[in-house]
Amino acid sequence: MKNKIDELKEALSDSWKKISCLEKRIVKELSDKLEAINSYGREKEARTEAEKVRDEKSAELEKFRDEKSVAEKMI
């Protein structure tokens, strides 16, 4: 009977160790997912800002081209 109790205690201890290990893996996975979400948000903001700058520079270039065209016609 004592031997059976010891076996059950050992099995219970092993189970708690497995649970602890799984909890750590879950926390790590959630942390990794949160970091991926945050990284995606930063990337999206950077891309939006880059597109805004590109659009501004394209408009500026078009304006200079128009001014050049007008200036060439005046010559």
Q: What is the pLDDT of residue 73?
A: 86
What is the Cβ-side half-sphere exposure of residue 54, based on CA atoms within 13 angstroms? Answer: 6
Q: What is the pLDDT of residue 36?
A: 98
Structural tokens at position 31: 């942390």
Q: What's this model's pTM, rounded to 2 decimal places?
A: 0.64
Distance CA 36, CA 44 (A): 12
Structural tokens at position 58: 């394209």
Distance CA 65, CA 69 (A): 6
Q: What is the pLDDT of residue 64?
A: 96
Distance CA 71, CA 38 (A): 49
